[in-house]
């Protein structure tokens, strides 16, 4: 049995050498590789036959098979290299490749200014103890409006210019739905921010159909407006400089009560008055307020036991102030002259 298998190995080697000599192209090399070295190839078949041999002769026969396998791999690799070189020379001869030309320089990439701005904002709030949450960009009317105290026909819906899609769904107009989803699943205390893309039917130098927001929520016992003011004042000064003046103006949002807009002293003119701040010395950067009791009731949180505040800011708005950009559309036009400045 041993001698029969050894003779078979020698015969296979002679046959393989003959076939290697007559190889005409790279396809033939691949076919031989599968024939001899494939999972169902000749070498695998020889290894299977070894199981019938007595244990004391298996090492000797196994060595013969391994030597044959190594020989085949080496010879097939040589043939592959030869045909690759021939193919390369044919391409050069046909003029499709000029190896004398210098290589094309590929410029290294870097973070987009919106990504840099978002990361800076997220870093500040996570440093204050907030956790990051995400949610779907295609939302239901309930999560995007109704659970946030914006029922059908509410005039606040006019400000959102919503993109509606099939099946009664819509593209979220803010990241506030993430707050509802988190409050449904988790009990206070809740310290969260929700960064992400949002969509509204609006387009001009200060509005884009797609833009980005970071919304935040803090819910616990005995939270008041003073906590809200301190957190946002810290954020503003970390983002725009420690000497930045911050003010809160009364406003209205259906999901908070009381509500406020937050302004900072203009980063362009330092509060002296310019075109950017419309000569007021102040620029608006975000909205905020104490969570409305009806919002708490929609997620089964007792508003008599817990209070909280929420805030939302636009990433593009912050980036435009930091970099002195006066047209939001520049962020999305992929103009290299613009992007190379960052």
Taking residues 104-131, what's their average pLDDT?
91
| Per-residue three-class SS string for 108-129 | CCCCCHHHHHHHHHHHHHHHCC
Burial of 308 (0-12, 13-18, 19+ CB in 10 A): buried
Between 218 and 167, residue with greater pLDDT? 218
Cα angle: 103, vertex 107, 112; to 5 degrees: 160
pLDDT tens-digit series, residues 48-78: 877 777 777 778 877 888 888 888 888 888 8
Check residue 207 and report its DSSP letter. B
pLDDT at 4: 75
Sheet holding 246-253, edge to edge: 131-132, 190-199, 210-220, 307-314, 282-291, 256-265, 246-253
Indicate whether 95 pLDDT > 70: no
Maximum mean pLDDT: which of 2-16, 91-105, 212-226: 212-226
Looking at per-residue pLDDT, the higher value among 289 and 324 belongs to 289
- Token readout for 130 is 């907030």
- Output the CA torsion 49→53→56→60 (10° steps): -40
Comparing C-alpha atoms, which of 255, 237, 258 is closest to residue 246? 237
Can you tell me the mean pLDDT for 118-142?
Answer: 94
Tokens 């200060």 belong to which residue?
206
Please determine, for residue 207, whether its predicted confidence score (pLDDT) is greater than 80: no
- What pLDDT is stored for residue 271 in this prediction? 72
pLDDT tens digits, 230-246:
999 999 999 998 888 89
For 33-42, how does the pLDDT look when each residue is reduced to its tens digit (9 = 90+)? Answer: 888 888 888 8
pLDDT of residue 327 exceeding 80? yes
SS3 85: helix
The pLDDT assigned to 32 comes to: 83
Q: Tell me the pLDDT of the chain averaged across its residues.
A: 87
What pLDDT was estimated at residue 88?
Answer: 77
Q: Which residue has the higher pLDDT, 157 or 233?
A: 233
Residue with more model confidence, 174 or 27 = 174
Question: What is the per-residue pLDDT for 97?
Answer: 64
pLDDT tier at 12, thresholds 50, 70, 90: confident
**2 vs 242 pLDDT, higher one:** 242
Reference 206, options 317, 319, 338; nearest CA is: 317
Three-class SS of residue 28?
helix
pLDDT tens digit sequence for 270-289? 777 777 778 888 888 999 99
Among 10, 5, 39, 35, residue whose Cα is nearest residue 20: 35
Of 277-286, 301-310, 328-337, give the range with the top mean pLDDT.
301-310
pLDDT number for residue 273: 77
pLDDT at 156: 64
Structure tokens at 322: 């930091």
| Distant-in-sequence, close-in-space partners of 196: CB < 8 Å, separation ≥ 6 | 134, 135, 137, 175, 178, 212, 213
Q: Is 299 in contact with 327 (CB distance < 8 Å)?
A: no
Predicted TM-score (pTM) of the model is 0.66
What are the structure tokens assigned to 206, written together?
A: 């200060």
Structure tokens at 52: 């019938």
């Amino acid at each position: 049995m041993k001698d029969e298998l050894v003779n078979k190995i020698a015969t296979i080697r002679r046959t393989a050498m003959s076939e290697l000599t007559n190889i005409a192209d790279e396809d033939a090399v691949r076919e031989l590789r599968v024939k001899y070295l494939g999972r169902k190839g000749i070498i695998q078949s020889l290894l299977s036959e070894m199981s019938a041999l007595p244990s004391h002769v298996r090492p000797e026969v196994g060595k013969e098979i391994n030597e044959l396998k190594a020989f085949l791999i080496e010879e097939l690799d040589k043939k592959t290299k030869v045909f690759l070189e021939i193919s390369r020379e044919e391409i050069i001869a046909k003029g499709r490749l000029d190896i004398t030309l210098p290589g094309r320089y590929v410029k290294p990439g870097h973070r987009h200014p919106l990504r840099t701005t978002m990361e800076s904002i997220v870093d500040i709030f996570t440093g204050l103890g907030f956790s990051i949450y995400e949610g779907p960009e295609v939302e239901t009317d309930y999560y995007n409006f109704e659970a946030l105290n914006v029922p059908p026909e509410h005039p606040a819906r006019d400000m959102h210019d919503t993109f509606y899609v099939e099946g009664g769904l819509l593209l979220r107009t803010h990241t506030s739905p993430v707050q509802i989803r988190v409050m449904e699943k988790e009990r206070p205390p809740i310290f969260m921010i929700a960064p992400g893309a949002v969509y509204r039917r609006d387009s001009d130098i200060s509005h884009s159909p797609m833009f980005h927001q970071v919304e935040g929520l803090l819910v616990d016992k005995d939270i008041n407006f003073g906590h809200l003011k301190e957190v946002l004042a810290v954020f503003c000064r970390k983002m725009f400089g420690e000497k930045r003046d911050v003010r809160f103006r009364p406003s209205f949002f259906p999901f908070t009560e009381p509500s406020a807009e937050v302004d900072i002293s203009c980063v362009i003119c330092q509060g002296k008055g310019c075109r950017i701040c419309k000569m007021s010395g102040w620029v608006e950067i975000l909205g905020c307020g104490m969570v409305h009791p009806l919002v708490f009731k929609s997620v089964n949180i007792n508003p008599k036991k817990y209070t909280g505040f929420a805030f939302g800011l636009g990433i593009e708005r912050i980036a435009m102030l930091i970099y002195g950009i006066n047209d939001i559309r520049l962020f999305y036009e992929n103009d290299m002259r613009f992007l190379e400045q960052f």
